[in-house]
């Protein structure tokens, strides 16, 4: 007698077994911006935890209306959709923890895959020396005073042969630092594992970020709209602002702006 055929188990929608909350991964060959794509998808109901990865962006976004440039296939260009249910501690006032956690997770992923430890720079960069390896842009959707979703966008230079003239003095890539080919997929996998763990325990993120932030105790130049000054970066407040002791002795709290690391003190 024929045995009734067993129903096959449903396919695991999480491509990274052992992690609890990130996935599925949507892979795109080309998009204007993974952040734009995922914010629109979120408005249309896309699930929390969805990750979008693109080979190329035609209009990659930086902060303050700037652009993020990368030739096709050279960078890990990704965005992660997070809704409050995936990280229940998240409120409007603590969204910065998601970016800090992404920075910590990506720094560790780079170290695991490429064998070197990048420096964290406030608020959102990974550097090697004074060259930028990775930038992050977090965008939130708030309606009626409530946080609906957060999209954390990350661009990491992974496998570059040349840099465009405007980046040649300021950027670097994993393969150039490690002296060997580096896989975007391996980096993605390592990042997703680490980020999932941190999202499940955001309480430790701020202290880990402070401990590992290369900006602290460093002489910095702060560039704000219409103003620049120098000082020593002394701390990060609970709301994620950078505290800088100016040469005049005042303590200034920076919520948004650009930081240049000048030299260690
Ligand atoms: C950032 O802005 O560093 C945030 C970059 C976020 C990019 C990711 S890629 C996936 C996701 N989808 C998006 O559309 N965006 C995110 P900011 O701190 O403003 O730095 C931007 C500046 O970095 C530019 O003005 C350039 O000077 C420089 N830059 C641009 N492309 C770069 C690259 N590939 N490597 C290093 N520096 C770069």
The per-residue pLDDT for range 201-228, each reduced to its tens digit, is: 888 999 999 999 999 999 999 999 999 9
Please give the number of the atom of ligand 1 that sits closest to the Cα of 69: 31
Average pLDDT, the chain: 91
pLDDT score for 37: 98
Task: For residue 230, list its beta bridge partners.
Answer: 221
R_g of the chain, CA atoms, integer Å: 19
**CA–centroid distance, residue 242 to ligand 1 (Å):** 20
The per-residue pLDDT for range 187-205, each reduced to its tens digit, is: 999 999 999 999 988 889 9
Query: CB of 59 closer than 6 A to ligand 1?
Result: no
| Mutation test residue for ligand 1: of 50, 135, 153, 165, the one with most atoms within 8 Å of CB | 135
pLDDT score for 204: 92
The residue extents of the domains of the chain are 25-212, 219-261
pLDDT score for 119: 97
Query: CB of 56 closer than 6 A to ligand 1?
Result: no
> Burial code of 106-138, b = ≥16 C-beta within 10 A, e = fewer?
bbbbbeebbeeebbbbbbbbbbbeebbbbbbbb
Pairing of strands 67-68, 25-31: unpaired
Whole-model pTM?
Answer: 0.92
From atom 21 of ligand 1, which residue's Cα is the shortest distance away? 62
The per-residue pLDDT for range 36-70, each reduced to its tens digit, is: 999 999 999 999 999 999 999 999 999 989 999 99
Kindly tell me if the per-residue pLDDT of 136 is higher than 70.
yes
The matching CATH number, chosen from 1.10.10.10, 2.30.30.100, 3.50.50.60, 3.40.640.10, for 219-261 is 2.30.30.100
| Mutation test residue for ligand 1: of 68, 160, 188, the one with most atoms within 8 Å of CB | 68
* 197 or 21, higher pLDDT: 197
**CA–centroid distance, residue 23 to ligand 1 (Å):** 24
pLDDT score for 263: 72
User: What proportion of the chain, given as a percentage, has pLDDT over 90?
Assistant: 80
The per-residue pLDDT for range 144-175, each reduced to its tens digit, is: 888 899 999 999 999 999 999 999 999 999 99
Query: CB of 68 closer than 6 A to ligand 1?
Result: yes
pLDDT score for 221: 97
pLDDT score for 19: 45
Query: CB of 235 closer than 6 A to ligand 1?
Result: no
81 touches 48 (CB < 8 A): yes
Query: CB of 132 closer than 6 A to ligand 1?
Result: yes
Query: CB of 215 closer than 6 A to ligand 1?
Result: no
From atom 7 of ligand 1, which residue's Cα is the shortest distance away? 155
Kindly tell me if the per-residue pLDDT of 7 is higher than 70.
no
Please give the number of the atom of ligand 1 that sits closest to the Cα of 35: 12
User: What proportion of the chain, given as a percentage, has pLDDT over 70?
Assistant: 90
Kindly tell me if the per-residue pLDDT of 89 is higher than 80.
no
pLDDT band at 265 (very low <50, low <70, confident <90, very high): very low
pLDDT score for 6: 47
Superfamily grouping for domain 25-212: Bira Bifunctional Protein; Domain 2 (3.30.930.10)
């Amino acid at each position: 007698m024929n045995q009734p055929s067993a129903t096959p188990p449903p396919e695991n929608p999480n491509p990274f077994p052992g992690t609890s909350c990130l996935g599925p991964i949507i892979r795109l060959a080309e998009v204007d911006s993974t952040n734009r794509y995922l914010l629109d998808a979120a408005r249309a109901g896309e699930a929390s935890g969805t990750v979008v990865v693109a080979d190329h962006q035609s209009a990659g976004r930086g902060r303050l209306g700037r652009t993020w440039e990368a030739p096709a296939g050279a960078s890990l260009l990704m965005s992660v959709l997070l809704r409050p249910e995936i990280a229940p501690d998240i409120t409007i006032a603590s969204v910065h923890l998601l970016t800090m956690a992404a920075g910590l997770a990506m720094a560790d992923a780079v170290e695991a895959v490429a064998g070197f430890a990048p420096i964290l720079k406030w608020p959102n960069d990974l550097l090697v020396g004074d060259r930028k390896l990775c930038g992050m842009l977090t965008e939130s959707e708030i309606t009626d005073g409530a946080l609906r979703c957060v999209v954390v966008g990350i661009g990491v230079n992974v496998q570059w042969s040349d840099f465009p003239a405007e980046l040649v003095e300021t950027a670097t890539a994993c393969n150039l630092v490690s002296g060997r080919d580096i896989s975007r997929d391996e980096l993605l996998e390592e990042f997703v594992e680490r980020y999932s763990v941190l999202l499940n325990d955001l309480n430790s993120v701020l202290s880990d970020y402070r401990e590992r932030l290369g900006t602290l105790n460093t002489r910095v130049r702060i560039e704000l709209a219409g103003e620049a000054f120098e000082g020593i970066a002394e701390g990060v407040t609970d709301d994620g602002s950078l505290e800088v002791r100016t040469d005049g002795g005042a303590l200034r709290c920076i919520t948004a702006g650009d930081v240049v690391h000048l030299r260690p003190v």
